[in-house]
Structure 1
Amino acid sequence: MILADDSPPSTGTGAPRVRRSLDGERLLAVFGQLVEPLGRSLPATSEVVLHDLSLLPNSIVAIHGNVTGRVVGDPATDLLLERIAAKQVADSFVNYETVLPDGRRLRSSTMIIRDVAQTPVAALCINTDTSAWQTVEVVARAMLGTLAPDDAQALVSPDVPSQVPMVAQGGPAAGGGPHETFVRDIDELAQVILTKAIDETGVPVELMHKRHKVDVVRQLEARGLFLLKDAVELAAHALQVTRFTIYNYLNEIHDQAQEEDDRKASNEV
């Protein structure tokens, strides 16, 4: 297991830090000690990761296993950053599928740890590489005579295992549920967030009107990009505008949100 020392490493990102409560400190210490034994209790293809949410974005403080290749001091995933930025952190999102760039499929769970004041202080994550189990499933189905013709190629083609549909109990179907990207540094995290937000508009940056760019900035804020250092400059470069334009878009977005809140409040009176 890799475990951070007692002094939190400087993120160097300018992201705001949340002061931990004494209860939060205790919880992090307790779960930090559980990472290694929990990891040793799981299959060797599993990885256990502990995030200290006060250190976002570089939040990994303990890790056991090497499924995603990350180490202490590496950043949170885009999914975890988005949930924290939205301040809508569920107690857990369990048994969802993620896919690594090399095609390996993971079954992942993220459990949010809260202090006595119900403030999220940590996230305990488990990622299990299920590629080997997919192969076992295909072989079993072949032996039972239930293997579909399209899946039979998985027994002879090295490219097919990553395409074999996963059968999971109690979790979202393949392609459903949360989408999560594992990154090794802040630059990669920022690029992932930027690319997703821009691609979702369906319009190339060169052809975007103001409304498209405002929508992109709204998505970037919702995904937590502006928790990262130099995020405004990154967004401005990606959208081919000035940093002051990004600030204007953010002000416009916040004003619209405030107007919506005021309208809802007036309707409830």
Structure 2
Amino acid sequence: MAQMRSRPATAGGIPDEGIRPTVDGERLIAVFSALVEPLGRSLPPSTEVVLHDLSKLPNSIVAIHGDVTGRRVGDPATDLLLKKLHELSEDHIVGYETHLADGRRIRSSTMIIRDVTGQPVAALCLNSDLSVWESVQDIATSMLDLTGMRKPTQQAGEPRIVPAQASDEAEPEVFVTDVDQLASHLIRQAVSNVDVPVELMQKRHKVAVVRDLKDRGMFHLRDAIDMIATTLGVTRFTIYNYLNEIADEDAADSDDEPLQIGKEG
């Protein structure tokens, strides 16, 4: 199991100056960039290979082969990748299922690449369009039915095998081609979870929105403070204060001293 590693952070786990480029990181990114196309050509055409340079967040895609999600070099990371970096969770998520906006099922894997110091520097992602295989399955099923070669029915007492499925409660990963789309999605999800119209929100509701956005990795995006402040109808300094309150609460829960963001004005 991958080890969790710490990184410089301000209050609430927000990266201090983001993920910085390193010499070994640049070397790794160059190596994996050169592998994206041959790896993509070795896989079925329904699979997309994507490499993210994490020092370039949010517009982190530096190499891509395939056209499953419609993204290009220079497009942003997904909401899942931002959240994964914020949580410092295990390095790899393999074979999870999500959906595209047009309803197609996608099976994805996300692998974090670290330099010699343990800092995350890149993410290699595979996205496979399952609709192609579903069509093949439908054809095969139809042919087996026509030839009378249906599978035997399950006999009493035999164990029932159920294929693994993604949790119904899990939010699907969102693939976007614009940072504003990503920011709007994150904010919309956080506000929706509070289930109170912004104009009727009290302070506790707005703090809950900020905490949710922090957990989603929203603060990896430039101008996140201003975007959230505009949505909630408060000043950017109020957002700083909310973050400090959240950091204090988290520190109290873990009996650690809170890390403070300097207040302005």
Q: TM-score, normalised by structure 2?
A: 0.78
| Paired amino acid for 1:105 | R
Q: Kindly indicate whether structure 1 or structure 2 has the higher relative contact order, using CA contacts under 8 Å at least 6 residues apart.
A: 2
The 1:177/1:227 distance shift into structure 2, 3 A limit, reads same
Contact (CA 8 Å) 1:79, 1:178: kept in 2 or not? no
CA distance in 2, matches of 1:120, 1:177: 25
Aligned counterpart in structure 2 of residue 200 of structure 1, from 187, 190, 193: 193
CA distance in 2, matches of 1:212, 1:177: 22
Give the secondary structure class of the aligned counterpart of 2:243: helix
Contact (CA 8 Å) 1:89, 1:112: kept in 2 or not? no
Contact (CA 8 Å) 1:97, 1:174: kept in 2 or not? no
Gapped regions of structure 1 (runs ≥ 5): 1-14, 148-166, 265-269
Q: CA offset at residue 186 of structure 1? A: 1.0
Deviations 1:219-266 (A, max 9, x none): 1112121222221221122222232322221111111122222269xx
Map 1:16-95 → 2, pairs under 5 A: 16-86=17-87, 88-95=88-95
Could you say which residue in structure 1 is the equivalent of 2:172?
Answer: 179
**1:238 counterpart = 2:239:** no
The 1:255/1:173 distance shift into structure 2, 3 A limit, reads closer
Contact (CA 8 Å) 2:18, 2:220: kept in 1 or not? no
Could you say which residue in structure 2 is the equivalent of 1:125?
Answer: 125
Give the paired residue count: 229
Could you say which residue in structure 2 is the equivalent of 1:8?
Answer: none
The 1:144/1:175 distance shift into structure 2, 3 A limit, reads farther
Deviations 1:154-196 (A, max 9, x none): xxxxxxxxxxxxx996x64364667311111110110011011
CA distance in 1, matches of 2:76, 2:255: 36
Map 1:136-151 → 2, pairs under 5 A: 136-144=136-144
CA distance in 2, matches of 1:45, 1:174: 24
Give the secondary structure class of the aligned counterpart of 1:235: helix
CA distance in 2, matches of 1:197, 1:77: 16
Aligned counterpart in structure 2 of residue 189 of structure 1, from 166, 182, 191: 182
Give the secondary structure class of the aligned counterpart of 1:206: helix
| Paired amino acid for 1:209 | Q
Aligned counterpart in structure 1 of residue 253 of structure 2, from 245, 249, 260: 260
The 1:196/1:177 distance shift into structure 2, 3 A limit, reads closer
CA distance in 1, matches of 2:18, 2:162: 37
Percent identical residues? 58
Could you say which residue in structure 1 is the equivalent of 2:106?
Answer: 106
| Paired amino acid for 1:208 | M
CA distance in 2, matches of 1:208, 1:122: 38
Q: TM-score, normalised by structure 1?
A: 0.77
Gapped regions of structure 2 (runs ≥ 5): 1-15, 152-160, 258-265
Could you say which residue in structure 2 is the equivalent of 1:97?
Answer: 97
Q: CA offset at residue 94 of structure 1? A: 0.7
